[in-house]
Structure 1
Amino acid sequence: MYDLLVVGAGPYGLSIASHAAAAGLNLRVFGRPMASWRDNMPRGMFLKSEPWASNLSDPAGRWQLDAYCAEQGLTARHAEPIPVEAFAAYGLWFARHAVPAVDERTVTRVASRTGGFSAVTEDGEMLHARAVALAVGVMPFVEVPPALRDLHPALVTHSSHHSDLDRFRGKDVTVIGGGQAALETAALLAEQGTRVRVLARAERLQWNDVPPPWERPWWQSVRSPHSGLGPGWRNWFYSERPGLFRHLSEPTRARIAATALGPAGAWWVRDRVEGAVELLPGHKVTAARAMPGGVRLDTMSREGALRTLETEHVIAATGFRPRCDRLGLLSTELRGALTALPDGSPAVGRDFESSHPGLFLAGLVTASGFGPAMRFVHGATFTASTLVRGVRRRLRTTPMGGTVPVPGGSSRSESPSPVRR
């Protein structure tokens, strides 16, 4: 029986695995490394986060993005966005150096059992572990507006379902949403010759400002410090103190998780959108139906004005909604045992442990507990160290056959997985 199974091999899963291996836990890591970054983002996109705020986490801090860029002859400078392809390659490099060998099979089911958990892989192998860390990213939580859900995928897709936009060359596409995914997707479509419009519910589109220089007068830094989520004290609190964020009242946490750092485009994509893309802010889709050659959308403005438009394809860049009932790889019994917050996301304790002992959660699904940082790569550092500490605490308090690692010792019933250097 393993001490820990890590399910998911994105930034959070890989970071957790690195910390768990360093702590001497006997673990297995499952998932295709950086899969969503490699498969679910079109070529030409850039990372919105600053390079220095986009590190995966290992305990010694040896395998950071700037080290990878230096090795590859790339730049990782403040206010210079990193291509998504480069970030995905960095994640693979991190996995090779800082993480035990990753099993690229998909885990299809996790269930509770006496003494821990059972997990079944896509080819039917069953494994047992005393603790499980789910780091499944955002893909299980894709959100599409109700008016579009019944249309065929040939007509409506989510923005996360595209690694290549070439199929839309010369066509008419409507992108729904007002955030970075919507605006950057629209820019890429326009640049390849697609006729594209953006339809957003917000009365006007929001754009992030160019970040202030890294080096600046001390009084400017005091007034608006840099943080992993952008400048300003509020962002600094969300970014650097997620442990304190957890102590806010539940209604306050829920409100912040739902509204902080709302939809906005990066400063470097603005000129690629304005003047090149038809923008329709202040509109929402009220109905959609298939028609010969595409989709007919009925929309309503904030003033109540009705409009109908026809398009060949709709891309819903409408984000993700982390809910317990969307954790489909959990058995029905285990999923039903999770305590849910009013927004439907699972409640987590101080160490990212769910209400079911031994089941730990990471990433977007914990944003209502630990704040907006959990929606970004930057949150992986706090999560990895805190979660692994919680796993060790759980293993100490519920021993199930054989000794387990404790602070200052490394006894266990099985040998740890090797970490390649």
Structure 2
Amino acid sequence: MYDLLVVGAGPYGLSIASHAAAAGLNLRILGRPMASWRDHMPRGMFLKSEPWASNLADPDGRWRLDAYCATRGLVARHAEPIPVETFAAYGLWFARNAVPEVDERLVGGVVGHPAGFEAVTEDGEVLRARTVALAVGVLPFTQMPSPLRGLHPTLVTHSSCHSELGRFRGKDVTVIGGGQAALETAALLAEQGTRVRVLARAERLRWNDVPPPAQRPWWRSARTPHSGLGCGWRNWFYAECPDLFRRLPEPTRVGIAATALGPAGAWWVRDRVEPTVETLLGCEVAAARAVPGGVRLETVSRTGETRSLETEHVVAATGFRATADRLGLLSPELRRSLLTTADGSPAVGRDFESSYPGLFLSGLLTASAFGPSMRFVHGATFTAATLVRGVRRRLLTAPPAGKVPVPLSGGRSAAPWRTPL
């Protein structure tokens, strides 16, 4: 029986495991380390966040991105984007040095158990733990526009499906979306000889500004402080005060999580897009159907103007929506027990514990509770330390033998116990 089972081995899972191991917990971490970064992002992409805001979290701050770069003769500089391949390799280095051995098997399901939880691995082994931390990343939550659902994957894919884009060389591709994933994907496609266009609902594309120097006069820093999510006091609050963000009214939190840091391209990709990529702005896909040689898209503008276009493939860079009903890893009973917020995401308490005692959540699932930083690697530092404190608190209220927890509202940390039926 483990104290903690960590499901997922990306930046959040590895950071949680590092803190749990340092706290002396008997834990197991399962998942392929940095899988989404290694298998679901094309070569040639870069991190949008600053190198100093992209550290995985160990309690001593020893295994930082800049420390990894130094071992490879690289320098992690402010305002110089880091290649995704370098970041993925950094995560593997962190996994080797900062956490216990990672079990690379996937978890097929998690169910409640009289003493906590049971998790079944992909090869059928049953593991038991008193608490579970889900760090499943974003891949379970891909969002596809409804007109594109049901079309064959040879015609339509989500942007997270691609580790390389060479299959589209010399073809015609339409990328849907106006954020970083859409714009950087379009740039990479154009640079390899693909005829590519971007289709977005926004009337114009938004681009992030070149960040100011790391060292500035104090009065400039006071006006627009640096933070892990960009410059400005609002971004600083989101990045550095997730515990205060959680105290905002729920409608405010949900609204901010949905709209803050909206679709925008990094400053360093702008010159790669504007001269070479066709843009169709202020419109969205109203209908789509397969035709010989590809897909016909019917678009409609905000003024009701319609247009048809044919393309060989559609890449939907349309983001992710983390809702409780998409947590297929959990048994139906566990999913049904989860209280949710207005946007359908699971409610969590101050320690990232869900309304089912002993089940802890992290990452994108918790953005409506702790703010936009949970959408980025930067949020892993606060999450890991806070969540592990919550796990230790939960372990002090372990169920009596033969009992299972009774879920409470609001993600409260104390719970009665009942005899299973």
TM-score range, shorter chain: over 0.9
Residue 40 of structure 1 corresponds to which residue in structure 2?
40
- Counterpart for residue 61 of structure 1: 61
Residues 71-94 of structure 1, C-alpha deviations (whole Å, 9 max, x = no match): 111110000000000000000000
In the alignment, the residues of structure 2 paired with residue 215 and residue 50 of structure 1 have an alpha-carbon distance, to the nearest angstrom, of: 14
Task: Return the offset for 1:333.
Answer: 0.6
Query: Could you say which residue in structure 2 is the equivalent of 1:415?
Result: none
> Map of 1:95-244 to 2, 5 A cutoff?
95-244=95-244
User: 2:150 and 2:88 mapped to 1: Cα distance?
Assistant: 33
Once the two structures are superposed, residues 390-420 of structure 1 have per-residue CA deviations (whole angstroms, 9 ceiling, x without a partner) of: 000000122557xxxxxxxxxxxxxxxxxxx
- Secondary structure of 2:315's aligned partner: strand
Distance 2:355 2:154 in 1: 40
Whichever residue aligns with residue 285 of structure 1, its letter is V
2:406 maps to what in 1? none
Runs of 4+ residues deviating >3 angstroms: none
Cα offset, 1:256, TM superposition: 0.2
Write out per-residue CA displacement over residues 315-350 of structure 1, whole angstroms, 9 at most, x where no aligned residue. Answer: 000000001011001001111110011111000000
- Measure, in 2, the Cα distance between the counterparts of 1:359 and 1:97: 27
CA–CA distance in structure 1, aligned partners of residues 375 and 75 of structure 2: 25
d(CA) in 2 for partners of 1:193 and 1:307?
Answer: 25
| Distance in 2, Cα, partners of 1:155 & 1:321 | 22
1:98 deviates by: 0.2
Asked if residue 294 in structure 1 is aligned to residue 294 in structure 2, the reply is yes
1:348–1:361: 8 Å Cα contact kept in structure 2?
yes
Aligned residue number for residue 404 of structure 2: none
Aligned to 1:70: 70
Q: For residues 242 and 163 of structure 1, what CA distance do their matches in structure 2 show?
A: 32
Partner amino acid for 1:388?
V
3-state secondary structure, aligned to 1:364:
helix
CA distance in 1, matches of 2:26, 2:49: 33
**CA distance in 2 between partners of 1:292 and 1:88 (Å):** 39
**Residues 245, 253 of structure 1: 8 Å contact kept:** yes
Residue 328, structure 1, aligned to residue 328, structure 2: yes
Once residues 336 and 202 of structure 1 are traced to their aligned partners in structure 2, the CA distance between those partners, rounded to angstroms, is 36
- CA displacement, residues 265-285 of structure 1 (integer Å, 9 cap, x when unaligned): 000000000010001110100
CA distance in 1, matches of 2:336, 2:145: 25
Match of 1:363? 363
Matched letter for residue 74 of structure 2: L
Distance across 2 between alignment mates of 1:400 and 1:92: 39
Describe the superposition over 1:360-395 as per-residue Cα deviations: whole angstroms up to 9, x where unpaired. 000001000000000000000000000000000000
**Per the alignment, in what secondary structure is the counterpart of residue 102 of structure 1?**
coil
Partner of 1:376 in structure 2?
A: 376
Q: Structure 2 unaligned runs (5+)?
A: 402-421
Distance in 2 separating the partners of 1:103 and 1:336: 29
Is residue 2:43 matched to residue 1:15?
Answer: no
Root-mean-square deviation (CA, aligned residues, Å) is 0.7
Letter in 1 for 2:135: A
Q: Give, as a single letter, the amino acid of the residue that structure 1 aligns with 2:77.
A: R
Q: Which amino acid aligns with 1:109?
A: G
Using the alignment, how far apart are the partners of 1:315 and 1:232 within structure 2?
33
Q: 1:252 corresponds to which residue?
A: 252
Write out aligned runs for 1:269-284 (5 A): 269-284=269-284
The residue number in structure 1 matching 2:352 is: 352
Q: SS in structure 2 opposite 1:263?
A: coil
TM-score by length of 2: 0.95
1:411 corresponds in structure 2 to none
Aligned residues: 401
Q: What residue identity is the alignment partner of 2:297?
A: L
Return the alpha-carbon distance in structure 2 between the equivalents of residues 127 and 105 of structure 1. Answer: 12
Partner Cα distance (2:275, 2:299) in 1: 22
Helix, strand or coil at the partner of 1:258: helix
Measured in 2, the distance between the counterparts of 1:340 and 1:205 equals 33
SS at match of 2:94: helix
The answer to whether 1:308 aligns with 2:308 is yes
* Distance change (3 Å), C-alpha of 1:399 and 1:62: farther
Cα distance in 1 between the residues matched to 2:214 and 2:314: 39
2:71, 2:7 → 1: CA distance?
Answer: 29
1:273-304 deviation digits (Å, cap 9, x = unpaired): 00100011101000000000000000011221
The one-letter code matched in structure 2 to 1:328 is: G
In structure 1, list runs of 5 or more residues that go unmatched: 402-421
**For the residues of structure 2 that align with 1:305 and 1:247, how far apart are their CA atoms?**
44
Amino acid paired to 1:275 = P
Partner SS state of residue 175, structure 2: strand
Asked if the contact 1:118–1:126 (Cα under 8 Å) also holds between the matched residues in 2, the reply is yes
Q: 2-side partners of 1:74 and 1:307: how far apart? A: 49
Contact 1:203 1:302 in 2 (8 A): no
Q: Report the residue type matching 1:318 in the other structure.
A: T
Q: With the length of structure 1 as denominator, give the TM-score of the two structures.
A: 0.95
SS in 2 for 1:67: helix
Paired letter, 2:61: G
**How far 1:242 moved relative to its partner?**
0.3
- CA–CA separation in structure 2 for the residues paired with 1:112 and 1:275: 55
Aligned-residue identity in percent: 79
Instruction: Give the SS at the match of 2:396.
Output: helix
